[in-house]
Structure 1
Amino acid sequence: MIKIQKVINSKWIQHPVFWVLSIYAIGNYFAISSLLKFIDFFYALLFHIPLVFLVYVNLLLLVPYLLKKGKYYLYIPAAALLLLATYGIHELTFELLLPALPTEYYMVSFTDWEVLVSIFTIYLVLSTLLTLSKSWYKLQQVEKEKLSIELNSLKSQVNPHFLFNSLNSIYSLALSRSEQTADTVLELSNLLRYMLYEVSEEKVELAKEVEMLENYIELQKLRADDSTQVTFEVKGALDEVKIAPLLFFPLIENAFKHGVKGVSDSGFIKISLEVDRHISFSISNNKGIIDDMEQGKYGGIGLENVRRRLELIYPAKHELDIHDSEQIFEVKLTLK
């Protein structure tokens, strides 16, 4: 499929196809009867001598060196001169070249100059638009690839710290020979499988994302004190709703990382997800002791990750509200 697309996009295919169609169209336009004859195509071929000159001077000189560089004040007069030169070549073709050809046909350019200039202008505009649209398409493809690379990079930021912390927690469980060890390893395995293989699509099923969030929270709770209260409430129908994958994970990691450490009293993390006309996600936690390295950077990379992904995937279709008080940190995210 990719090879076929490359062949179709090749200029060695596109240009001959364009000119064959053009000769057929011009032949039809100037046909002397309803049935196309050899003389009609012969006339169309001669008519294309100035057209080929017009199109390729425009494509190879005027568009790349004037139009694409923003020199519109030069492109317009240059295009006018090109049309004039094309008209001159047309006259020379039928006044000098045609009589010199060993042919039994007698033909003249019986087209009014207004019609000729109109046809030349159409080819000038058409060749310009096709070139610009192709450049725009290539630019869109490059931007799409850059976007995909950036999104994949942002997704990969979710994994390393979480994996390291989870393995440390599982190691502690194994040392104490806890009965939770096997179940915890299974939860981690399912979550890693999801992160590695099931989030390659731009959107995933919200029900599956919620299931993985629950596993993620259970693993994160291994880092928290037993007195920490963690709640996750889900409201609304999740069926047939899709969302960008791993969007909420950095927010949850942020709450566990910053909110439950160094607290003298019981800590808390409250998470809620509601699906109605919009998808509403909120998470709040008490603020633990922030060390010098984190001073003034509460939220850190996690929040920047979420902000950037929202800008890329949900431009003008999201609301992100952050409330940072002395004791509580809260994030509310609405996806329209």
Structure 2
Amino acid sequence: MLKHWATGLKQHFSAFAENQLAMMAAILLESSIRQFSFQSADAFTFLSIWAQLILESLPLLVAHYLMFKAQGWRALLIWTVGFLLYPMLCFSMADFDSGYADWSLFSVQGWLLLLGASLGFGLSRLVAKGDHSRYSQFVTRLFSLNSVLLLLMICWAVLWSAIFASTDDPVRNQPIKTVINSDTLIVNFYYFLDYLWQFLVMGILVLWVYWCNRYLLIRRVLARSGVFAYMTACLIFIIVGTPMLATVVLWLPMNIADWTFLPSEDYNIFAPINFRFIGLLLAVSTPIILAFERQQQGKAIAEIAQRQSQTELQLLQQQVNPHFLFNTLNNLYALTLTGAKEAPAVIMQLANLLRYTVYEGQNQRVSLAQEIQYIQDFLALQGIRSANKCQLKVHFPEQTQHWQLAPLLLIILVENAFKHGVEPSQELCFVTINIDIEGATLIMRCNNTLPKRATFGETGIGLDNLKRRLTLLYPGKHHLRVQKQNAEWQTELRLELEPCTAP
């Protein structure tokens, strides 16, 4: 019990940590920006800023957590209260109360960072679902490495353009405070646009280095010729590419006579620090690219394996016992020759079995009531052949329509009992089928007598089929026990059921 409780606590903590990871990153980023604007090197000041931002952002953190626990209009209501009404209340209090405004660190910038983190987490959850709708495919492309880096570059350019436009003569007053003044930004909007296109050019140059590293150096050189060739190609790229990129940066009008936007901060395109900067870009981008490429490759392999598993499951589900079918048709033929009144009922039961196998067997889940009805039709047909020598005892649970499971699982145990226990027997035999539900767990026990000369060393194709399907469909959620006890064959299946979804 204690181990189960500890495991559950660990799972809840992992889910909570995953939910809050992006939000914590946004708060840490806002804390760093605040620390940098204060020009403080004190760790205690940073921790104080971080703690106050967490305190002021607590309603947003709670709303973010609860939103992904709720569904439908409840989730929308929680999001509206946490991410819209609460920030509006905070900003209104800052306008009317100067004391609160001086104390509060919660700003529009911090709110936008938290909002972006929450929306990004939600989009990543959609991508993780892996469905193939157009919307999901669009979100997947939006979260590709290229798209994310492009978005980050644009955000970086907009942010620094706004900071420069909020500062008087920013190039000559380095270092500047990373503060955005909305009033000054509106007045200097022309300067904001002028700074924006120049920062975008610098961002595009950095993305060009990433693009060359990913599609030329890694995919063409590293993948085909190995590490040594990749290292030499990187060296060539640094030596040849650095002066070219530096020349483009020097064309920007923001540069002044005594200071430039090169890492060397001068007009020397061959300065060693410029080469080191390009080398650093390659060194930082390479593990990110390799990790992303490995993730994409693993995802593609997983999708292929999933399709193969689905194909295998379909083949397993569509296996109809030909021996049982031929025997039933022979019995039906005998009934029609004698004009027995049971013939129409037998035809209907056989049609129900085939219909269930062909149509319902294609579904991922069926109700437990449907599966038990299928077993009852099967037992009715078996009763025509073996009623004189087989004593059958069955017990089925009530309220079976509320649970669902994969189709054509339980019937395998019943077929196995008749195939190995009843059909080869020349004397009186019995089959006991008992199905119960405890909580959300189905417990099926199927026992049958064995013929005196039976050799039962192998489990048979049917049980192998069942074991394979259980492994694919219910990993870690089932337990199958098969054993021979004296002259009796005993099987027990425990399976975690799923509640039926509302139509």
Report the TM range for the smaller structure's normalisation: 0.7 to 0.9
Instruction: Assess, with a 3 A threshold, how the Cα gap between structure 1 residues 12 and 285 changes in structure 2: closer, same or farther.
Output: closer
For residues 156 and 91 of structure 1, the distance between their equivalents in structure 2, rounded to whole angstroms, comes to 66
C-alpha contact 1:7 1:13 (8 A) present in aligned 2:
no
1:282 equivalenced with 2:449 (yes/no):
no
Look up the equivalent residue of 1:45 and give its one-letter code. V
Q: 5 Å matches for 1:138-157?
A: 138-157=300-319
Equivalent residue in structure 1 for 2:464, among 271, 296, 304 = 304
Report which stretch shifted further, 5-14 or 32-41. Answer: 5-14
Q: Distance in 2 between matches of 1:186 and 1:255?
A: 24
Q: Which residue of 1 aligns with 2:298?
A: 136
Q: Which has the higher contact order (CA 8 A, sep 6+)?
A: 1
Q: Counterpart of 1:199 in 2: which secondary structure?
A: helix
Matches within 5 A, 1:225-264: 225-235=387-397, 237-264=399-426
Shift of 1:158: 3.6
Structure 1's 58 and 250: CA in aligned 2 closer, same or farther, altered over 3 A? same
Moved more, 158-167 or 192-201: 158-167
Residue in 2 aligned with 1:272? 434
1:86-101 counterparts in 2 under 5 A? 89-90=241-242, 92-94=244-246, 96-99=247-250
The alpha carbon displacement at 1:247 in A equals 0.6
Using the TM superposition, give the Cα deviation of residue 237 of structure 1 relative to its aligned residue in structure 2, in angstroms: 3.7
Q: Residue 200 of structure 2: which of 36, 40, 44 is its match? A: 44
Which of the residues 478, 492, 499 maps onto 1:332? 492
Structure-2 separation of matches of 1:68 and 1:239: 58
CA separation of 1:118/1:201 partners in 2, compared to 1, >3 Å: closer, same or farther? farther
Name the amino acid aligned to 2:241: I
* Superposition deviation, residue 184 in structure 1: 1.0
Task: Please give the alpha-carbon distance, in whole angstroms, between the structure 2 residues aligned to 1:173 and 1:204.
Answer: 33
Note closer, same or farther for the CA distance 1:181–1:129 as it changes in structure 2 (3 Å cut). same
Do the aligned residues in 1 keep the contact of 2:157 with 2:203 (CA within 8 Å)?
no
Structure 1 stretches lacking a partner, 5+ long: none
- Aligned residue number for residue 479 of structure 2: 319
Question: Of the candidates 359, 364, 373, which is equivalent to residue 202 of structure 1?
Answer: 364
> How big is the shift at 1:127?
3.4
Q: AA paired with 2:292?
A: L
Distance 2:224 2:262 in 1: 37
Greater fraction of residues in helix: 2
SS of 1:246's partner is: coil
The Cα shift of 1:13 comes to: 11
Give me the whole-angstrom Cα distance separating, in 2, the residues matched to 1:16 and 1:289. Answer: 70
Change over 3 Å in CA distance of 1:159–1:17 after alignment to 2: same
Q: How far, CA to CA, are the matches of 1:226 and 1:125 in structure 2? A: 73
Give the C-alpha shift of residue 47 in structure 1.
4.0
**Is the contact between residue 261 and residue 288 of structure 1 (CA under 8 Å) also seen in structure 2?**
no
Q: C-alpha displacement at 1:126, in angstroms?
A: 4.2
Question: CA contact under 8 A between 2:369 and 2:400: conserved in structure 1?
Answer: yes
Q: Output one character per residue of 1:2-33: Cα deviation in whole Å (capped at 9) or x when no partner.
A: 68479749989968755653541342244232
- 1:57 maps to 2:213: yes
Q: Distance in 1 between matches of 2:221 and 2:345?
A: 66
Distance 2:328 2:239 in 1: 76
Moved more, 201-210 or 260-269: 260-269
Q: How many residues align?
A: 326
2:396 is paired with a residue whose SS is strand
Query: What per-residue deviation string (whole Å, max 9, x for no partner) do you get for residues 106-139 of structure 1?
Result: 4732557699877666644543343333222212
- The AA in structure 2 aligned to 1:172 is A
Match of residue 28, structure 1, among 158, 164, 167: 158
| 1:59-208 aligned within 5 A | 59-62=215-218, 74=227, 82=234, 89-90=241-242, 92-94=244-246, 96-99=247-250, 106=255, 108-111=260-263, 123-208=285-370
The two structures have a TM-score, normalised by structure 1, of 0.79
CA distance in 2, matches of 1:151, 1:231: 31
Name the TM-score, length of structure 2 as normaliser.
0.55
Mapped to 2, the partners of 1:115 and 1:61 lie a distance apart of 17
